[in-house]
A and B are shown apart, each in its own frame.
Chain A
Amino acid sequence: MNGFPAAAKTALADAQLRRNLGKATTAIRVKRARAVGELEDWEALRDAGAAIKARAMATLPEQLERLEERVTRAGGVVHWARDGAEANAIVAGIARDHGASQVIKVKSLASDEIGLNEALALRGIEAVETDLAELIVQLGDDEQSHILVPAIHRNRAEIAALFERTIARGQTLGLEPRAIAEAARTHLRERFLSVPVAVSGANFGIAETGSIAVVESEGNGRMCTTLPRVLITLMGIEKVLPEWRDLEVMLQLLPRSSTAERMNPYTSIWTGVRPGDGPQEFHVVLLDAGRTDVLADEVGRQALHCIRCSACLNVCPVYSRTGGHAYESVYPGPIGAILTPQLEGLERAPTLPWASSLCGACYEVCPVKIDIPTVLVHLRSRVVREVKGRRSPERLAMDALGRVFRSRGSYERAQRMARVGNGPLGKMPGPLSGWTAMRELPEVPQQSFREWWVQRT
């Protein structure tokens, strides 16, 4: 990891990327505001969503055991994975049991988080992404840059050229979206009909019924969850919902927040195995991978409420300029800035909690009311305490400045020194801070407000 400031600098220098991102995020931001504005009870829905997630997390062990029991009763098999390596081994083992050299995949962030594709490749199994954007990323040997639109950093011409190099060799696709999509469709249909094992993620796992819900807009996901003989669902443990009726709230919040649609196009919900209909073998892999550690942090744990809608990315003034790669994680944007350091460890991503101006736009749109700015500030405190240590130069400067403000005398002395460019107040924000690259610094006036006040009275 290079850290956010350096990675952002690289991204900001890419003019094409800035144009692609600016156009895409602005369009989706406007559409979302319209879709949300249609509902009079949007705020009540957000409260309900937050309450459902809070309850699920507060009763997590109980909900997961309920889920396991119901899935098992419906003919499925539940596996528990402490970390990514365990989960990867479980998925690979099932695929191998069926002699599969390929698996088809529905878009799954959890699988990207744990590097499932790479782990399968090491065992000689090829994972084929079937979500169009994921396919684009996979074919380009690229990294995804958005939770919902992984290839948001690519435009139409770039994608057509990529397909002409890979799955549509020898063809000229042009810029017509239909022709470009057709190339992907032809490529994927063959896989859907021939590959015996599929891997899906889960938007929701319902404890009450043992059902799994996957929400997507292409229909490719449904092909994966219905056509192959064997279906493996990889689900982060925080995806559990206690009751079936909780879907009523979530399926309103999610599509309007993510794609600005009133209703999601393809919502697949299945429960275990049904003889003669759909996959005849069904596995759920419940993934922890740091999540129970996150639960231990009273302020930070709300990051686990995320339903991966990506509204916070689209409204974020930082994300919409740097794009997702600058976050160096499968979870970019504001939610990534609070999720990644907690899941992977603060020392692995210590700059992410600062990748925000704390403008608050993310909190305003979050469908489950995750107070991202508060969690960011909390994680900053934790990085300062747990990673930077007591003797970092920043700590010493902050302590010195803090002492200035602790008494009127030292504060007024520092004000006078600042006028001649000295002392803790005279060195803010500092000559090498990057401030003056584009901005003038104000001159320190000869009379402070308080001096004026004293003189006046």
Chain B
Amino acid sequence: MRVALFITCFNDTLFPGTGRASVALLERLGCAVEFPLDQTCCGQMHGNSGYEDAARPLAERFARVFGGSDVEAVVSPSASCVGFVRDHYGRMGVPFSGPPVYELSEFLVDVLGVEDVGASFPHRVTLHPTCHSLRALHVGDRPERLLRAVRGIDLVELGEREECCGFGGTFAVKNADTSMAMLGDKLGRVLDTRAEVCTAVDTSCLMHIGGGLARQRAGVRVMHMAEILAAQE
């Protein structure tokens, strides 16, 4: 199956490992991956921050870059960016009519129909189900089903798992104190699991959680789900 990778500006610039893992995983599962180099940013940050007028040209750009593609699907390792394309483009007057856009776990489970992706990752892992994956995309337990099938993994449930980590894009800086109060509670629950790795389907939340864990020198790593699913340790 031919797919186009929508990497997101955030992963492209700051977390290229998420993209490399997504490519490795998709190719291992038999997909022919394309990467349209003209892609930049979907406009989520501008759109969610009240700068819809600045987001609109970015949405139009996304529609041009991916809309003209003859791939069967657009796949992205970011639930919040997929949610923005799916839920907000229409409202902004830029409806996207190209190939269907999927978040990675949706694509794997719903389109490829796999749960066991042939990964091996013998570590204790906890999953933070991100807000946009749960409440914008409704991915449900897809990420868990994928992780549970990983060989050697010790998947432990996070307490109050569905509560927001406090990132929220510009919320993390505009309301830094509240954001940190939310993060503090999330970090406590991550540490309670005694996991070595905290994973999620959104790198932005992981940057926030990982930044907090690193500051505490907690010894817990954050990894995008794609990196675990690509692993063959």
Q: Is A438 in contact with B183, judged by CB distance below 8 angstroms? A: yes
Answer whether A359 and B184 are a contact pair too, CB < 8 Å, given A402-B51, A406-B40, A441-B211. Answer: no
Instruction: Tell me the A residues contacting B by CB distance below 8 Å.
Output: 4-5, 8-9, 12, 18, 317-318, 321-322, 353-361, 363-364, 374, 377, 380-384, 395, 398-399, 401-402, 404-408, 411, 415, 418, 425, 429-430, 433-435, 437-442, 444-445, 447-450, 452-454
Residues 159-182 of B at the A interface (beta carbon under 8 Å): 162-164, 166-182
Q: How far is the CB of A437 from chain B (nearest CB, A)?
A: 7
Q: Is A429 in contact with B175, judged by CB distance below 8 angstroms? A: no
Q: Is A406 in contact with B135, judged by CB distance below 8 angstroms? A: no
Q: Is A9 in contact with B14, judged by CB distance below 8 angstroms? A: no
Chain B residues whose C-beta falls within 8 Å of the C-beta of A453 in the assembled complex: 19, 23, 35, 37
**In the complex, A434→B20 CA distance in Å?**
31
Query: B15 interface residue, CB < 8 Å from A?
Result: yes
Q: How far is the CB of A91 from chain B (nearest CB, A)?
A: 37
**In the complex, A361→B61 CA distance in Å?**
31
Q: Is A402 in contact with B215, judged by CB distance below 8 angstroms? A: no
Listed from nearest, the 7 A-B pairs whose CB atoms lie closest are A357-B168, A434-B176, A380-B50, A439-B211, A360-B135, A359-B164, A449-B19
Q: Is A377 in contact with B50, judged by CB distance below 8 angstroms? A: yes
Answer whether A442 and B14 are a contact pair too, CB < 8 Å, given A5-B177, A429-B173, A453-B35. Answer: yes
**In the complex, A363→B46 CA distance in Å?**
22
Q: Is A399 in contact with B131, judged by CB distance below 8 angstroms? A: no
Instruction: Tell me the B residues contacting A by CB distance below 8 Å.
Output: 7, 9, 11-16, 18-20, 23, 35, 37-38, 40-41, 43, 45-52, 54-55, 57-58, 61, 88, 91, 131-132, 134-136, 162-164, 166-184, 207-208, 210-212, 214-215
Q: How far is the CB of B181 from chain A (nearest CB, A)?
A: 5
Answer whether A449 and B7 are a contact pair too, CB < 8 Å, given A381-B52, A398-B51. Answer: yes
Q: Is A439 in contact with B41, judged by CB distance below 8 angstroms? A: no
Chain A residues whose C-beta falls within 8 Å of the C-beta of B173 in the assembled complex: 429-430, 433-435
Q: Is A434 in contact with B40, judged by CB distance below 8 angstroms? A: no
Chain B residues whose C-beta falls within 8 Å of the C-beta of A382 in the assembled complex: 50
Chain A residues whose C-beta falls within 8 Å of the C-beta of B215 in the assembled complex: 438-440
Chain A residues whose C-beta falls within 8 Å of the C-beta of B55 in the assembled complex: 402
**In the complex, A355→B215 CA distance in Å?**
25
Chain B residues whose C-beta falls within 8 Å of the C-beta of A398 in the assembled complex: 46, 49, 51, 54
Answer whether A357 and B177 are a contact pair too, CB < 8 Å, given A435-B172, A449-B11. Answer: no
